[in-house]
Amino acid sequence: MRYSRFYDWKTEILMEDILDTTLDDISKPVWENMVESPIIDHVSASIPLCKYKLKLKYGGFFRLAKNTSRKIYCFGSQKCIYIDTWSYNLSRLNEEVIRRYSSKENPEFSISYVDKYARDQSFIELDSDEKFMAMLSMYEDEKEVTIYVTTDHNHDSNNCRPSNHLFDKIDEPHDDSDYCPSEESYYSHLSSDNEDPYEWMNDDDEVYSFSKNSLSMNVGTKFENSKVFRGKQQAYIDMYGKWEDSFMKMDAFREELLNRNQGSVVEIDFDVVGDKKHFKRFFISLAACSRGFVAGCRPYVSLDACHLKGKFNGVLAAATGVDANNSIFPIAYSVLESENTQSWTWFLESLKKSIGTPSGLVISSDMQKGNFKKQFRGEFFSKKLWDAANTYLPASHDILLNEISDVSQAAIKYLNNNHKKVWSKSKFGTTSKCDYNTNNISESFNSWIGALRYQPVLDLLDGVREKLIKRFDKKRMLVKKWNGVLVPIAKNHLEDISKNLGEYEVSRCSDNHAEVKCKGKRWEVNLYERKCSCRVWQVTGLPCVHASAFIAFTRDVNWDKYVDSCYIVQKVKEAYAFEIAPMPGADQWMQKEWEKIYPPIIKRPVGRPKKKRIKSSGESKRRHKCPRCCEYGHREKTCKNPAPQDLKASQTSTSKRRSKCPR
């Protein structure tokens, strides 16, 4: 048996070419996979035929996508049929659907399609010929419509039957683990129709096959990049809905946050182009975070932004604080179009509404990091600059800069012109009790949010909120296990500096005043004012080694009173004492006629988006050491250097041996 193509009434129909079959007997078009389709009656030659494509999806069910009111059809099969709109009607469609469920007795099903003129996603049920003709008229321009079939058998309480209403309630909310296993799950996620119904006949590539009853595939199976990409995109849509739909619920999400978290600051900004509102920025600072920061954290805020990895470009900016135990404390986060002066100004103005201006507030950012090392290379400049940044003494800072100036006046001129902010610990104030001169706090936040950056914007914002709820609860449970007045980080510090104090010589001037000498250097310590001439005690709030030598000299057993009050356990309790209100699913949010929000106007750059973080020039790179010659830059298999004599003598016959390089 072979196949040929016949053209009749301007409609291409694939038929079996059998010797005893004539052209007049041809009356049955077939499915794309050669399954017989409903009969299409001949019409008069005076009436033009209208070729129409019906995409029939059956065997699955509807469920709500996460954080949206959009319904998605899960785990069904799909068949395509080309019909003539002059002779095809609803009764023939019902007959074809019954054939799809031939294994069931008297199946009860409903047929529906999407109303393309509705503002939000809406389904219209096909229960009359009038609605069937209205559907054909609605999709007259496309000449193609998708029809969904659901039955009582594959429709449980967790799913949504298609109806004329968008917001159908469900009995049980779904979450991240809401995944419906099915025999046809793998096929449903990756299958798609070809635009050409005969394309499969001319495909000379490898045939890809798999079992519907198992998710496993044969070893060595190859897939085209386009198929893998479509499968990945379909999986994202099944889990989170369409990327564009994520922006349509922004107003409802903002209203729900404000209603449930009184005192929060939630801002949204748009780009208005003509009569359309395009998403631009979104800022969230929950009341529990802002109030907890003011009540229990030091006045230190670290700013940074990381790139989003989804379909639309943008950055996730965050303001992160530090609690009493030196753990990150998220204060606010925001989705911005990019890092520029306007977006950061908008972010900081919104942050000011949230936390105000606490006394001694310090704002740290990573602006222009690493630029000095790009201009002035070499170990000398790098070491001297870091020493100048880490010293607490202004005099030592000036000496180190003078050493740099002696080598290169241009280096000092560059620092004065481009780094006018405070970047050395010798210039730090004594109110914030923080000595951070890196952006490690912000990098920790970026690592904490993890894979959320790959999700749509609404899921990203809501996912961070969920992580905040879990983090606050975890900290509240942890602090209940702590004993004593000080937090663990302060206790460990006192334990470390109280050791090996024998080389320090203390000359007491009064009960609270003394000189401390060590290795030819001398410092002044005042226990009453909690001061030391090295400035470490004043900047960090924790006793320095010189102060601990004086405290040990006085035989005082109560060391807790020499630690600043920002390190007590009560501060941690106050920081995490406020509640972040729970939120229901998107289908239970306030139902209101919100103005439609369109995706942001952002031009994607050329090339594949980068996945790995761009390391700064100051970060050390891992180098591989050859276990044979103990040198860097090559592997053992390609090593051409002679092996040490002691290594040759100690080699054994085993292929696996440890490196003999000195440590």
| Any domain includes 514 | yes
For residues 227 and 27, what is the distance between their CA atoms, to the nearest angstrom? 35
Give yes or no: residues 198 and 277 share one domain.
Answer: no
% of the chain surpassing 90 pLDDT: 33
Range of the domain at 16: 3-228
pLDDT mean over 554-560? 90
Locate all alpha helices (DSSP H) within 39-114, ordered by sequence: 90-100
Q: Which of 527, 559, 588 is the last residue of a domain?
A: 588
pLDDT at position 661: 64
Task: Please report whether residue 201 resides in a domain.
Answer: yes
> Which run of H or of E encompasses 92?
helix 90-100
One domain, residues 13 and 157: yes
Residue 85 pLDDT greater than 70, yes or no: yes
3-state class (DSSP) for residue 516:
strand
Q: Is it the case that residue 503 has pLDDT exceeding 70? A: yes
Q: Count CA atoms within 13 Å of residue 542 on its CB side.
A: 22
Q: How far apart are alpha carbons 148 and 72 in whole angstroms? A: 11
Residues 190 and 91 in one domain: yes
pLDDT of 49 above 90 = no
Count of CB atoms situated within 10 Å of the CB of 160: 21
In tens, the pLDDT along 370-409 reads 577 778 888 888 899 889 989 999 999 999 999 999 988 8
Decide: 335 and 461 in contact? Cβ < 8 Å: yes
**Mean pLDDT value of segment 296-305:** 93
Question: Is there a single domain that holds both residue 114 and residue 173?
Answer: yes
The SS3 assignment for 211 reads coil
pLDDT at 242: 78
The Cα–Cα gap between 423 and 408 comes to 20
pLDDT in tens, 265-297: 999 999 888 888 889 999 999 999 999 999 999
CB proximity list for 610: less than 8 A, separation 6 or greater? none
Domain assignment of residue 507, yes or no: yes
162 lies in the same domain as 261:
no
The b/e string for 532-569 (b: 16+ C-beta within 10 A; e otherwise) is: bbbbbbbbbbbbbbbbbbbbbbeeeeebeebbbebbbb
Task: Indicate if 86 and 7 belong to the same structural domain.
Answer: yes
Q: Is residue 84 part of a domain?
A: yes
**Rg of the chain over CA atoms, in angstroms?**
35
Q: Does residue 547 fall inside a structural domain?
A: yes
The span from the CA of 80 to the CA of 6, in Å, is 19
User: Based on the domain organization, do 290 and 388 belong to the same domain?
Assistant: no
Q: Are residues 157 and 28 in the same domain?
A: yes
Statement to judge: residues 144 and 12 lie in one domain = yes
| pLDDT attached to residue 561 | 92
Residue 610 pLDDT grade (very low, low, confident, very high; cuts 50, 70, 90)? low
Over the stretch 152-187, which tens digit does the pLDDT of each residue have? 644 443 334 333 333 333 333 333 333 333 333 322
Confidence grade of residue 571 (pLDDT, cut at 50, 70, 90): very high
Q: Is residue 158 part of a domain?
A: yes
Give the CATH number for residue 118.
3.10.20.90
Count of C-beta atoms within a 10 Å radius of residue 406: 9
Residue 97 lies in a domain: yes
260: confidence class by pLDDT, cuts 50, 70, 90? very high
Mean per-residue pLDDT, 488-507: 92
Tell me the pLDDT tens digit for each residue of 441-477.
888 998 898 888 888 899 999 999 999 999 999 999 9
- Cα dihedral sign, 257-261-263-265: negative
Helix or strand run (H / E) with residue 598? strand 597-598
pLDDT, tens digit (0-9, with 9 covering 90-100), for 197-215: 333 333 333 333 444 444 4
Q: What is the mean pLDDT of residues 75-97?
A: 85
Supply the mean pLDDT for the chain.
Answer: 77
Asked if 617 contacts 370 with a C-beta cutoff of 8 angstroms, the reply is yes
Q: Return the higher-pLDDT residue of 241 and 122.
A: 122
Domain identity same for 65 and 141: yes
Mind listing the pLDDT tens digit for each residue in 337-354?
Answer: 888 899 999 999 999 999
* Closest to 32 measured CA to CA, from 101, 85, 78, 75: 78
What is the number of structural domains in the chain?
A: 4
3-state DSSP of 520-552: CEEEEEECCCCEECCCHHHHHCCCCHHHHHHHH
Q: Does 652 fall in a domain? A: no
112 with 52, same domain?
A: yes
- 348: CB partners within 8 A, 6+ apart: none
The residues pairing with 568 across neighbouring beta strands, listed in sequence order, are: 486
**Of the spans 98-102, 111-115, 620-624, which averages the highest pLDDT?**
111-115
How many other C-beta atoms are found inside a 10 Å radius of the C-beta of residue 605? 9
Paired with 186 in beta bridges are none
**Most confident region among 63-67, 552-556, 636-640 by mean pLDDT:** 552-556
Q: How far apart are CA 599 and CA 534, in angstroms?
A: 55
Q: What percent of the chain has pLDDT over 70?
A: 74
Q: Among 508, 537, 567, which residue terminates a domain?
A: 567
Identify which has the larger pLDDT, 69 or 249. 249
Residues 259 and 314 in one domain: yes
User: Region 528-541: what's the mean pLDDT?
Assistant: 93
